Amino acid sequence: MCVTAALGCSARPSERGEPSARALAAGSSTPGAASALPSTAGPQPAPAGSAAPDVGPTCATNGCLRWAVPLGDYPREVLAAFVPPGITLDNGYSLYGIEYATDGALARATIAVPFGVPAPPGGWHVVANNHGTSGLDDPCAVAGTLPGAGLAGAFGAHGLIGVATDYPGLGTPGVHPYLVSEVEGHAALDALRAVRTAARLGHIPLSGRYAMVGLSQGGHATLAAAAQHLAYAPELDLRAFAVSGPASAWEEHWRAGAERDGPFAAVHAMLFYAWADHYGYRGPPLWSAHAAPLIDEAMQHSCVMPFGGRPALATLLGSKMADIFAPELLAAYRSGHWGLYAPFAGYFAANRLRPYRQSAPLLVYQGALDRIVPEWATRELVTELEAGGVELRYEVVPDGHHIDVAFSELAAPQRRSVQALAWLRAALDAER
């Protein structure tokens, strides 16, 4: 059980609340970094009347800061009482929630700034931590919630500014475009732009050096951002990218999963629902007679895990692929002969992770016992990236599963958290 809102213990929607100070109660309100931004309890517009295009309550520039709100200060001694044995803390942290613009949409993030220690002479390094699959709509948002605090705090408690990025549609208008590379990657990069602005307004010194990590869906977002970095946000000095158990969005990987029934049938439904919405699919029916009356309510109000009395997606939709998908679509999906469903072949192709022009080192972790993203799938991804010229370090963790290797919340034991932090810090500290 998660015992303190400041830590975040699991990405369970049942732990989630609204993006306000109430979501992160139990922190002491002491002077420090948190007082540098607006001090009221609810989401506040960024200062109005500014001529800067990167800040304002109605700004639309990619990465511009719409609002920022402090969520509390958490001294090290308060946090230390609640972390499991073996997890160390270098310092406390102050938490903020922000909203920013990205590609004509809005997204949110939680920021953890080291608290109770002086800033380094050159300013703080920043690490964005992109989260895994939660759902498609507002109830499944991570930013401004307990898991968001834990994802940001995983770096904020270790002398770095941590940023738990979210994706458009989670806590903001619209359906989340799940595993759409362009949307996820841009949102992750734009979060760093927004943090840069928030730090400037709050007089929080930054080093100007950034890194980005992610687990599962967050790994897909991180690799998408790595591929987009030089073209989309070249002004950001990104020094490292790292992922664990990354979702690839490769058609053949998803097809292998579609061959069997189980709780992840609902995640396949998430993918098709999100892509149909994002790309404006207009074709033959996607859903079975059983699922069709339930699908909108399920996707807009339920998440991967149960929360607030709402059942999980798998509970609503069932675990049998044939009970969810129209028989014609399921046959096309499993065979790869798409026929009238050919647009989905294009969607898979558009979001497939591929080799890219590299701007920073890449570290890839994979749990050997991972049953969600199996090692063979990540090995195929790594092989293709390397064949295309991407230099990377690949480590298979023999006793690792999907969420216990790296880049989960602060209070969640991770088998490679210490090593990953050391690798990131070395990349951020290195002089070019």
Q: Write out pLDDT tens, residues 68-89.
A: 999 999 999 999 988 998 899 9
φ/ψ (deg, to 5) at 253: -70, -45
Report the alpha-carbon distance of residue 289 to residue 285 in Å, rounded.
Answer: 10
Enter the tokens of residue 413.
């034991």
261-294 pLDDT per residue, tens:
999 999 999 999 999 999 999 999 999 999 999 9
| pLDDT of residue 31 exceeding 80 | no
CB 113 within 8 A of CB 153: no
Q: Is the dihedral of CA 88, 11, 232, 391 positive or negative?
A: positive
**Per-residue DSSP letter, 6:** T
Position 82 scores a pLDDT of 84
pLDDT at 202 over 90: yes
CB 212 within 8 A of CB 205: no
Cα 104–169–355 angle (5° rounding)? 75
84, burial (CB in 10 Å: exposed 0-12, middle 13-18, buried 19+): exposed
Q: pLDDT band for 211, please (50, 70, 90 cuts).
A: very high
**How far is the CA of 167 from the CAs of 85, 175, 426, in angstroms?**
32, 10, 28
89-110 pLDDT per residue, tens: 999 999 999 999 999 999 999 9
Average pLDDT of the residues in 410-425: 97
Q: Using pLDDT thresholds of 50, 70 and 90, give the confidence band for residue 367.
A: very high
Q: Which residues, 6+ apart, have CB-to-CB distance to 378 below 8 Å? A: 245, 246, 248, 364, 366
pLDDT at 432: 79
Specify the 3-state DSSP secondary structure of 5. coil
Residue 45 is predicted with a pLDDT of: 52
Closest CA to 147 of 289, 23, 301: 23
Q: For residue 423, which of 395, 387, 388 has the smallest C-alpha distance?
A: 395
pLDDT recorded at residue 53: 75
pLDDT tens digit sequence for 124-165: 999 999 999 999 999 999 998 899 999 999 999 999 999 999
Residue 346 — φ and ψ, nearest 5°? -70, -35
186 and 228 Cβ atoms separated by less than 8 Å:
yes
Concatenated DSSP letters for 151-186?
HHHHHHTTTSEEEEE--TTSSSSS---TT-HHHHHH
* H-run or E-run covering 394: strand 392-397
Four-residue CA torsion sign, 219, 234, 429, 410? negative
Lowest mean pLDDT of 43-57, 59-73, 257-271, name the range.
43-57
Confidence of residue 231 (pLDDT cuts 50, 70, 90): very high
